[in-house]
Chain A
């Protein structure tokens, strides 16, 4: 394959991955699916009933992997009709979205109903308002994953069945969304009543903010907040992962000889070294700018 075309395809994959990461994170924020869900689940038990959408279908990677596989299977099984690839992707994503909506519904009612002894009501308007947003984000994520799969199988010559590729990418996007994007939601948005610039003291667990900028807070308010930082960073990370891992094989294609393949190996190591360097710079700048939480002289070193 011409490296120039390869780079173009990579740019498309990166763009689709950025959108996929962004929507994946916002979907988990609206439904408070991932790790911060523990706080949303805990809040009624600490006598803080709330109006947030509470669904935890499963861990984020598996939930996204399931949606991607359902979408890919439906799309590939309709391929006999001779419809265009884009239409097939839309059909597949619609099917995945419907499954995701069913799981969100059962998960929401099941989780909230189990908290009835803590006086947490089931708000039907919360359910009706938030579910379409969750569905829209789930649709976007699945569609973008399927677009990436199509590009990879047709241009990058990764000859895996599309459902299997979709499973791998779904797990990866969920894993990245769970680890990168939800930090801002869990440690900042849910605890805006605490002072900025500190980890959440374990004593405040469950004491989540329930008032919005206007009115009472719902999942949609949270997605507005996360769309400014948590979502974009997730998109950046997923696009970076797909771009950097494919870039090695496209620019240093081992088809041209093993020596070229080893060059790709060296390029990968150099990239990892660069991330170590940038991380160290970030850490030192944060230590310099933010400073310690306690005075150095007053504490004794116990080693």
Chain B
């Protein structure tokens, strides 16, 4: 705590020149990183297999919940891991990559336990309704789909797709989080004070991008082999534009907070 107070004092004594962005190029780079993070989140929502409400009645392939809900759950788990890593090591690369791993672990456990539920609770085999053969294992899928449904459970290809989506989404969320923290220009010892704001803004950008992706895929998607996955470029462009605009606002908020919030606290 003493270290934090010392560093804050140092910044306050040296004037607002340190607090405000000295170099606009640095902030532009951060803005581009935030935009990249937003696009990664949109890609991740397209990769995670979600069946929406029909999947809860074993009528569609994928995890039985909404796209935004599942992506947010996974992304926030990854963000939590990223926060704890950042507090422990201050190594941005490790923080971003482990955020991705945290998301992937959440998605992997959810898909595995969902499959246990489908197989032992309902007595059905995981089967895809969109592909005749599983793109990875080459197993026949269509004869394992029960009557009147569009597949059920999470077959191996969708499982792989989900894990890839978890990694990509977690990396995107953690990237936004790290970029927002770096925007303040404060030394790492003082980041604990600006961290809650960075986390809230990352969550906001996460939700914005998952909703954009949800509109694009319209409720259900099975993963990278689903025909709807081809609509990805449209969503990526929209997401890049929105994240760029929101990123400017987020950077303003972070710089403002670092300037005034800390001054009030330690005046």
Contact = CB atoms under 8 A, between A and B. Distances in A.
A198 B145 CA distance: 9
A200 B57 CA distance: 6
A241 B79 contact: no
A36, A179, A275 — most chain B CB neighbours (10 Å) = A179
Interface string A253-270: 111001001101100110
Interface string B115-151: 1111111111110000011000101101111111100
Interface stretch (A102-110, A111-119, A216-224, A228-236): A228-236
A115 to B, nearest CB: 18
Nearest to B145: A293
Interface stretch (B34-42, B68-76, B224-232, B252-260): B68-76
B65 A245 contact: no
Contact of B122 (A36, A160, A184, A203): A184
A172 to B, nearest CB: 5
B91 interface: yes
Interface string B18-44: 000000000000000000000000000
B196 A35 contact: no
A164 B196 contact: yes
A241 B106 contact: yes
A257 to B, nearest CB: 9
A276 B108 contact: yes
B89 A186 contact: no
B149 A283 contact: no
B240 interface: no
Given A36-B56, A184-B121, A249-B81, A164 B199 contact: yes
B139 to A, nearest CB: 7
B91 A254 contact: yes
A215 interface: no
Interface stretch (B93-101, B181-189, B242-250): B93-101
Contacts of A35: 52-53, 55-57, 64-66
B115 A283 contact: yes
Say what secondary structure dominates the interface of chain A: helix
A301 to B, nearest CB: 6
Interface residues of A, number: 90
B126 A186 contact: no
A80 interface: no
B196 A244 contact: no
B147 A287 contact: no
Nearest to B108: A275
Contacts of A172: 73, 76-77, 106
B72 A61 contact: yes
A197 B123 contact: yes
A193 interface: no
Contacts of A280: 137, 156
Interface string A156-194: 111111001101100110111011111111111011000
A68 to B, nearest CB: 12
Nearest to B139: A287
B63 interface: yes
Contacts of B109: 237, 240-241, 244, 275
A130 interface: no
B132 A268 contact: no
A236 B113 CA distance: 8
Given A60-B65, A183-B56, A184-B121, 10 more contacts: A164-B199, A164-B200, A176-B106, A199-B124, A233-B116, A246-B84, A268-B101, A269-B101, A279-B154, A290-B125
Interface of B: 52-59, 63-66, 68-70, 72-74, 76-77, 79-81, 83-85, 87-89, 91, 94, 97-98, 101-102, 104-106, 108-126, 132-133, 137, 139-140, 142-149, 152-156, 159-160, 163, 192, 195-196, 199-200, 203
22 contacts: A34-B56, A156-B84, A159-B87, A168-B199, A178-B69, A179-B110, A180-B113, A180-B117, A183-B122, A198-B123, A201-B146, A202-B54, A229-B120, A229-B121, A254-B89, A254-B94, A258-B91, A269-B101, A283-B115, A283-B155, A283-B156, A302-B132
